[in-house]
Structure 1
Amino acid sequence: MSFGKGHHLHLIDGSAFIFRAYHALPPLTRKSDGLPVGAVSGFCNMLLKYIDGNTGADAATHVAVIFDKGSHTFRNEMYDQYKANREAMPEDLSPQIPLTRRATEAFNIACKEMEGYEADDMIAALSCRAREAGGRVTIVSSDKDLMQLVGDGVEMLDPMKNKRIDREGVFEKFGVYPDRVVDVQALAGDSVDNVPGAPGIGIKTAALLINEYGTLEELLDRAEEIKQPKRRETLIGHRAQIELSKKLVMLDCDTPLDFTLDDLEIRDADPDVLLPFLAEMEFRTIVKRISDKMGREAPAVAEAPAAVPEGVDPPAELPGAPDLPFDHGAYEKVSDAPALERWIARIRDLGHVSVDTETDSLDEMRANLVGISLSVEAGKGCYIPLQHRPDSTDDLFGSDALAEGQMPLGECLALLKPVLEDDAVLKIAHNMKYDLKVLARYGIAMAPVEDTMLMSYALYAGEHNHGMDELSERYLGHVPIAIKTLIGSGKAQRTFDKVPLEDAVKYAAEDADITLRLWQTFKPRLPARRVTTVYETLERPLIAVLARMEQAGVQVERGTLSRMSGAFAQKMAELEAEIAELAGRPFNVGSPKQLGEILFDELSLTLPGGGKPKTGKTGAYSTGADVLEDLATIHDLPRRILDWRQLSKLKSTYTDALQDHINPETGRVHTSYSIAGANTGRLASTDPNLQNIPIRTEEGRRIREAFVAPEGRTLVSLDYSQIELRILAHVAGIDALKAAFAEGQDIHAITASEMFGVPLAEMTPDIRRQAKAINFGVIYGISGWGLARNLRIPREEAQGFIDRYFERFPGIRAYMDETIAFAKANGFVQTLFGRRINTPEINAKGPTAGFARRAAINAPIQGTAADVIRRAMIRMDAAIEGLPARMLLQVHDELLFEVDEAAADDLIGRAKDVMEGAAHPAVDLSVHLAVEGGKGATWAAAH
């Protein structure tokens, strides 16, 4: 039967599948000969997932995977710079490209490519012909270039997000409907494909213009009518370039094809072809999975040792999670004691369980427990609903009534408490700290624990994020149920206790199942990547420490914050008057648009390097902090604006907002620490962020006055003195800095004396301040521009300081060069304690490369400092045991404690010993880690 009405064609973007597979998975080599096959493995899994999902009334009747063939096409004849900026294909991906074609054919799926034409043109031609024949088309891709094809009978499917893209989806992306997409692209250009477009016009502006004038041709014919001078000149002066751009982005529906739609009819895979190919690739898991599915005996797979780079874990060689489907129908709802007791017996038999709590809030200090999910084996999970409520929209007064079919909360916790507190049973969770704190509020002290989020962090910091959904998709090939599908979003969002039990079981049990499989996947990789010690000594023990700190919180005085807010408002008003005088007229200081007009039109300021900041898509001048810091080196107005913005931020972010964070039950502020937030190991504080309270200004330091000790208690602050500079002196072998630290000298004054030839006796505060800025700036790979902004001096002078610094301390330049070389060769850098910070962009080109190099230079120093304070925090509880004291906060290099007044000095002595000796015995530093301590009724007084 010829292709026609009732038929459904799926066109898979082969290149997108390949690159997604390549970037999503860790490197994998074939064991017999070391051939890279990671992208092929991922590609096969994606095809399998597609085939398994191609069921039901909407299933495809015809399918093809469309590939690019070669890089030279008819567009290069039109414009020789087309795609000229594309980076070369990664060396280990190139040999895998032909294998993906073989994989497609092995699955008996049509595999098509044509010399001189891009895959997108073939997809366009096939889509047009299928639609003309009366059939439907789904383009399996998220490529924006294909969105011009969407329309009646043609839609797109983003396979990663499992999201369909129709005409409205295209409008959401481009601001126009599919028939005008090429017009918008012609104006906006494309830096990736090197399509020139109209300089200075982005997608939003292009869409506005096309919507106003109807078509690109009409816009260009009437360009003289445009009132905005620069935009008018751009369209008139670059008309030929814009028209060429439209030809480059328009897909060719008349692309000649040497096959027909009927050739693309779906065919079952031949096991005698597919299984030998998969065995040849040595994909054991896939071979077994498909053999079982086809009822065939699995062919033998080579057992030769793998040629694997040191420290890299090839997943196929390591034990991991069983490759089982996620069957939501197999998950169990536990609603009575006998059912839960059966689960508990199994937990005790196996000695481990993954645990996940469902609550009605993200705030662990206020969240109510709604249910608990458990899993002990891959593919098996249960959910114990406890406090779900009917989601009745007509119940205007609310209700405490519980939905039917749940287990009584007290009965459930009484049964679970012994096993969750049993030292012989390992509890596994993703972001365990949250579950620890929730269950602690119900009297359960869960231990011992493991955290799959922190395993991922120890293994892959810098490579990707560590959220459960992303890890599931990346390492298990499974897209979890999205929470938004259950609770909604925005104003219509509901809490989890209103989710129907049937839906809650599938979602919650799946989370526990995924967590268990991630644990099975990551645990063997820790020793393979040599990060077991990092996970076991720096990550895992910190969970309970931070949970206790967050539960303790810190007392904050609402009245003090309120008075500060008033004082800041008054100071802002004074600055506004001063700003108006400098500007020559009053204006809205908080308006970037008005500020830009003042600075660049009325005052005619230009950046130190010449010119005015590039206008954004709205046509307004850029007035970000970087621009103002540059301008502050030449004019007072931007300096005052920066001062005003700082006060505005202090008021809105701290003195106003902190009042809302005071817990009504405890009267204290309870921040939350993210252990896996920064790649270097630094902790991040959120809700509220207490780590970014500025201390370099008097106003910023005053905020700490609102943090107080209760009556009879005092606050103690202990702070590492210049820990990162000390670590730099050690790793770079800088004798002058080591000697200065050993003798307790002023390191910034010593640096200034070394650099500028000024005797210490003649040192001025300004010279010392410059040296301090350079000392800390160098650690972060600061540029001449960056230092110029910090010191508000000309760039040439700042660059001269940096050059002189490297001349005086040559060991620093050597350290930087060696670190970058190591990162380029290995793809990561390490702290002194073995923490691995991956550097996937280190060999990139352009601006990304500069950032990656600076990050690689800084990471071992900042990361080592972060590891030191982690080690101190982990040892602290044992050191201060017996003292009426508790640790409250960590702010980068500082720890804050609350202690009875009489025991403050004893606490300082013990805590200081722990902090100064935190590196030993793992690392023998050649520089002493000095810690300064203080105490007081407020945080400001203690610090």
Structure 2
Amino acid sequence: MSFGTGCHLHLIDGSAFIFRAFHALPPLTRKSDGLPIGAVAGFCNMLFKMVEDNTGPNAPTHVAVIFDHSGKSFRNDLYDLYKANRPPAPEELVPQFPLTRVATKAFNIACIEKEGYEADDIIAALSVQAREAGGRVTIISSDKDLMQLVGGGVEMFDAMKNKRIGVEQVEEKFGVGPDRVIDVQALAGDSVDNVPGAPGIGIKTAALLINEYGDLETLLDRAEEIKQPKRRQTLLEKREQIELSKQLVTLDVNTPIDFSMETLEVQDPDPEVLLPFLAEMEFRTLTKRVADKIGVDAPIIAEPKAAEVAAPEQPAIDPDKYECVRDAEALQRWIDLAYKRGWVAVDTETTGLDEMVVDLVGISLAVEVGEACYIPLTHKDGSDDLFGTDQLSDGQMNEVQALEMLKPLLEDPAVIKVFQNAKYDCKIFTRYGVNVAPIDDTLLMSYALNAGRHNHGMDVLSERYLDHSPIPIKSLLGTGKSAITFDRVAIDEATKYAAEDADITLRLWQMFKPQLHANQVTTVYETLERPLVPVLAQMEMNGVQVDRDTLSRMSNAFAQKMAALEAEIHELAGETFNVGSPAQVGQILFEKMELPGGKKGKTGKYSTPADVLEDLATEHDMPARILDWRQLSKLKSTYTDALQTHINAETGRVHTSYLQTGANTGRLASTDPNLQNIPVRTEDGRRIREAFVAAPGNTLISLDYSQIELRILAHVARIDSLKQAFRDGHDIHAMTASEMFDVPLDEMTPDIRRQAKAINFGVIYGISGFGLARNLRIPRGEAQGFINRYFERFPGIKEYMDDTVAFAKDHKYVQTLFGRKIHTPEIGAKGPQAGFAKRAAINAPIQGTAADIIRRAMIRMPDAIKDLPAKMLLQVHDELIFEVADDAVDQTIDVVRDIMENAADPAVHLDVPLVVDAGTGANWAQAH
């Protein structure tokens, strides 16, 4: 069919839909091997719905799914910070991207992406072509950036909300018609894509200005007429930035299309291609629906092995059956049941997520599967009103009375309290005077059993192991600015949601508890996971004192230093220009100064990413100064400004949260704020730690394992020369350099030692010749030669790597020296994923063993320092930070060092000694 009048083209924004499906739908993993497939499932269901709905006036005659290419686009040449703020894709989503391409082709639908262009540009070009040929276009997406295309036969469709987006809907969102959307976006900017726009001007103000002046160019030409001084100054001073922003948000309707529209004609799926793919993904329901639609038999999908099967037969989860406990008599019945059973699943509902400031709203309990209750305590009237009232709703227990009744049960050593993410609930109870013990935690049980297979949130575990999707919290609280807190939720609805959580937790506990022994991870759970919960909870509640004035002074100092650097850069350039503008930087460096290496993008402007400037900085001052300016700008916005917002108003301290399940290897992660990523490689970065201070009369002490991962590598790879060097206390990097380059130790130069250090640490992480070349700024062939020579001199390392990969392929997991299992379901993958999976498998036993050792030290620490005036505040990978009374510093260092250096014993005897370095100071920078 030739494309023309009467044709209807559907363009599916594949990349956006993947993310929407991933975040909107419950996580799902393939039961046979743990591969994440939730986004793929949502994607396939959408494609099948299109096949099913391919009738009526809105059915497509032509269809294509458009994806973003993995590389950068021409917009990065325009502005190297474009999309720089976007976090990396979630780990479990990465392997699903290629599967969605395979799915598209399996459904016999055109699958399109183009290097150097974004999906939106391809959609724009196809939309214009189709419109000019007389056809209609429906863009299946809700992406606001595509709304500039609406009109003249082009509309959008939000598949998630089943809502059509035409000219009227665009005007509602932007305050202007589609033809002026890019003008509004250029002014308002976009924090998600890092489009700078005009500072201080949002969508509403931008729309007012564009409607008044007609278009962006006229507005900028007549900016002197603007009455508001700040707005006028912004438009005059930021004109170039605004014009750049318009280039960034304007879709390229001239994107080259190297196929004809006729190739996009709708085709029936080939059952011999589609059904095997769906069966391979283990989409049982969808496979049957597709087979029924086509009129063929569905392929048989083998059930997973018994160990992977979901729960044994249990009563169905029915939220309507849960009890709302409204008085003491009813609560006492539940307490009696818990004592009789010897266990109780517990969950708290609060007004938010920050355990240090939120209020308790209610408590749920479950003692038998299918039987659960919710005890509402502080729900407020006016749940339908955004502002509500502070009047407590009727039919609730008095908070003090309920906690007094529950306290003996929650503290009774004879009754196990079961939680999903116990640390959160225990901190809440501690703030209310209840010290919960003993505990079990289904989150940590799953982590011990399944690290590397999937994540361990309740929704994931319930979906995978109970085949049940819990009530989503968004259905109660709403989203965005209109969201309410849990105390505004109606009690009847809150009961269903909260009690279901307790019921699910109990079911998961009864399933996971016996599996710990069957999978030989009981010791990991009992000695490394469960006992760490109260230790981390106490550390988080201790917090670390942060001096707001110091942060403010640093912000001001960084601003002044940036201004001084700008002046220095302008002097070197011989003219003033916007240092924050990559285009202007490129023009100065490559045209005026005629430096080598300049590359123009599609728009004719130079690109100046960090790697280009780093190469130039080795020979010229100005690129180095520009890099310094950019680094300061990041430090100021990300740390000295942002950290001030995390200081607790009541304690004056910052209270981070540690995630025990944050990494598959056992390493802790830190969030809200992340205190493990404060930069230490530059002097300015290290200065940020000066703001972390000891309370009056106290000192901060830092104790840090010295080269612990290299020591573990020497042990597991049985490298006698490295082991002996560690035993003798030699400089390990100098010794490695001497071995590799045949240089006597007394003739060692700093440069040779630096190269050996880069290789020592790089090998642990499976570094490639290319990666080492970038680190050392040497040719790739020379770097690969270093790695080859390293393996020749230390053959045990290559043998360890090969053996570890072989073990991972055979068993689908690797292990730490303490028995922690890190599953490697992707170890047999092909393509780029294969290299990543192998490097992860090689590194996991080393990094995981180091993580286990510091966990063992942390678990022993409370008893060791209980009689000392000392508190453990922070863990940063291989480092522990304490706040200690001034007169107990030396004694505390001796105690802590002894615990840390002997943490592996008696479970594992290492062939190399563990060495701990100690430092002290009034602030973290001095102590480290």
> Normalized against structure 1, the TM-score is what?
0.70
Alignment-derived partner of residue 250 in structure 1: 265
- Residues 198 and 242 in structure 1, CA contact (< 8 A), matched pair in contact too: no
Distance across 2 between alignment mates of 1:256 and 1:808: 56
- By how many angstroms is 1:395 displaced? 8.7
Deviations 1:228-277 (A, max 9, x none): 9x979973xxx6x412xx555532369999xxxxxxxxxx99xxxxxxx9
Q: In the alignment, which of 729, 735, 738 is matched to residue 723 of structure 2?
A: 738
- Structure 1, residues 381-425: CA drift from partner, whole Å, max 9, x if none? 1111111112367797x7431111111100110110010111111
1:645-676 Cα deviation digits (max 9, x unpaired):
33223222222222222211112111110110
Task: Give yes or no for the alignment of 1:24 onto 2:29.
Answer: yes
Q: What count of residue pairs does the alignment treat as equivalent?
A: 731
Compared CA separation, residues 678 and 601, structure 1 to 2 (3 A): farther
The residue number in structure 2 matching 1:180 is: none
CA contact (8 A) 2:379 2:491 kept: yes
Aligned partner letter, 1:881: K
Aligned AA (1:24):
T
Contact 2:27/2:459 (8 A) holds in 1 = no
**Which residue of the partner structure matches residue 467 of structure 1?**
457
Q: CA deviation at 1:314?
A: 1.6
Do the aligned partners of 1:189 and 1:196 also contact (CA within 8 Å) in 2?
Answer: no
Give the letter aligned to residue 845 of structure 1: K
Partner-residue secondary structure (3-state), 1:523:
helix
The alignment status of 1:431 with 2:436, answered yes or no, reads: no
Contact 2:546/2:693 (<8 A) preserved: yes
> What is aligned with 1:827?
812
Which residue number in structure 2 is paired with residue 661 of structure 1?
Answer: 646
C-alpha distance in 2, partners of 1:647/1:497? Answer: 42
- Name the SS of the counterpart of 1:928 in structure 2: coil
Contact 1:572–1:648 (CA<8 Å) still a contact in 2? yes
Identify which of 125, 131, 134 aligns with 1:209.
125
8 Å CA contact retained: 1:374, 1:509: yes
The match for 2:560 is: 570
- Partners of 1:321 and 1:517 within 8 A in 2: no
Tell me the equivalent position of 1:921: 906
Q: Secondary structure at the match of 1:524?
A: helix
625-634 vs 650-659, which moves further: 625-634
Matched, 1:525 2:530: no
Gaps of 5+ in 1: 1-15, 29-37, 51-65, 68-118, 138-143, 149-184, 220-226, 258-267, 270-276, 284-305
1:728-877 alignment, distance < 5 Å: 728-877=713-862
CA distances 1:791-816 after superposition (whole Å, capped 9, x unpaired): 33443433333233223222222211
Task: Compute the displacement of 1:504 (Å).
Answer: 0.9
Aligned to 1:92: none
Q: Which residue does 1:685 correspond to in 2?
A: 670
Cα displacement (A) at 1:332: 1.1
The alignment status of 1:314 with 2:304, answered yes or no, reads no
Q: Which residue of 2 aligns with 1:60?
A: none
- Partner Cα separation in structure 2 for residue 697 and residue 888 of structure 1: 24
User: In the alignment, residue 349 of structure 2 is paired with which amino acid?
Assistant: E
Matched with 1:405 is 395
Per the TM alignment, residue 772 of structure 1 is displaced from its structure 2 partner at its CA by 1.6
Aligned residue in 2 for 1:899 = 884
**1:379 alignment partner, one of 365, 370, 373:** 370
Whichever residue aligns with residue 915 of structure 2, its letter is A
**426 and 210 in structure 1: CA distance in 2 versus 1, 3 angstrom threshold:** same
CA offset at residue 756 of structure 1?
2.4
In 1: Cα distance, 2:107 partner to 2:919 partner: 55
Partner of 1:502: 492
Q: CA deviation at 1:368?
A: 0.5
Separation (CA, whole Å) in 1 of partners of 2:722 and 2:927: 28
Q: 2:331 aligns to what?
A: 340
The residue type paired with residue 785 of structure 1 is F
Moved more, 558-567 or 891-900: 558-567
1:445 maps to a residue whose letter is N
For residue 883 of structure 1, what is the aligned residue in structure 2? 868
Q: Assess, with a 3 A threshold, how the Cα gap between structure 1 residues 454 and 641 changes in structure 2: closer, same or farther.
A: farther
Secondary structure of 2:484's aligned partner: coil
Give the match for residue 370 of structure 1.
361
Q: TM-score, normalised by structure 2?
A: 0.71
**Is the 1:613–1:627 contact (alpha carbons within 8 Å) kept by the matching residues of 2?**
no
Per-residue deviation at 1:324? 2.6
User: Cα 1:857–1:606, aligned 2, differ >3 Å: closer, same or farther?
Assistant: farther
Deviation at 1:922, TM superposition (A): 1.1
For the residues of structure 2 that align with 1:505 and 1:620, how far apart are their CA atoms?
60
Q: CA deviation at 1:623?
A: 5.8
Supply the distance in 1 between the matched residues of 2:801 and 2:642 (Cα, whole angstroms): 41
Which range moves more in the overlay, 321-330 or 488-497? 321-330
Corresponding residue of 1:83: none
Mapped partners of 2:397, 2:806: distance in 1: 59
Q: State the AA in 2 paired with 1:438.
A: I
Give the drift of 1:482. 1.2
C-alpha displacement of 1:743: 1.0
- Which deviates the most, 671-680 or 577-586? 577-586
**Per-residue CA distance 1:879-910 (angstroms, 9 max, x = gap):** 22211212111111111111222221111111
What stretches of structure 2 of length at least 5 have no aligned partner? 1-17, 68-100, 136-246, 273-287, 290-296
Q: Distance in 1 between matches of 2:604 and 2:815?
A: 44
Report the RMSD for the aligned CA atoms in angstroms.
Answer: 4.2
How many percent of aligned residue pairs carry the same amino acid? 60
In 1, Cα distance between equivalents of 2:860 and 2:687:
31
Determine the C-alpha separation between the residues in 2 that align with 1:510 and 1:726: 47
Aligned equivalents of 1:451, 1:247: Cα separation in 2: 57
Q: Which residue of the partner structure matches residue 11 of structure 2?
A: none
Partner of 2:682: 697
1:739 CA displacement: 1.5
Change (3 A) 1:199 1:696: closer
Q: Distance in 1 between matches of 2:556 and 2:586?
A: 28
Match of 2:438 among 440, 448, 456: 448
Aligned mates of 1:361, 1:490 — CA distance in 2: 14
CA deviations over 1:452-492 (Å, ceiling 9, x no partner)? 11111111111211111122112111111111111112211
What's 1:483 paired with?
473
Cα gap change, 1:419 to 1:782, in 2 (>3 Å): same
Alignment of 1:412-423 (within 5 A): 412-423=402-413
In the aligned structure 2, how far is the partner of 1:405 from the partner of 1:779? Answer: 60
Give the Cα separation in 1 of the matches to 2:116 and 2:108: 16
From 391, 394, 401, the equivalent of 2:382 is 391
Moved more, 192-201 or 478-487: 192-201
Contact 1:454 1:676 in 2 (8 A): yes
* CA–CA distance in structure 2, aligned partners of residues 762 and 444 of structure 1: 63
Alpha-carbon distance in structure 2 between the residues aligned to 1:254 and 1:846:
27
* Preserved contact between residue 456 and residue 522 of structure 1 (Cα < 8 Å): yes
Inter-partner Cα distance in structure 1 for 2:889 and 2:921: 9
Q: Distance in 1 between matches of 2:729 and 2:600?
A: 45
Superposition pairs for residues 26-65 of structure 1, below 5 Å? 26-27=31-32
Aligned 8 A contact 1:629 1:792 in 2? no
- Equivalent residue letter for 1:364: E
SS in 1 for 2:867: coil
1:643 has 2:628 as partner:
yes
Tell me the distance in 2 between the aligned counterparts of 1:490 and 1:836: 39
Structure 2 letter corresponding to 1:757:
D
Please state how far the C-alpha of 1:532 moved relative to its aligned partner: 1.3
565 and 447 in structure 1: CA distance in 2 versus 1, 3 angstrom threshold: same
Structure 1 counterpart of 2:316, one-letter code: P
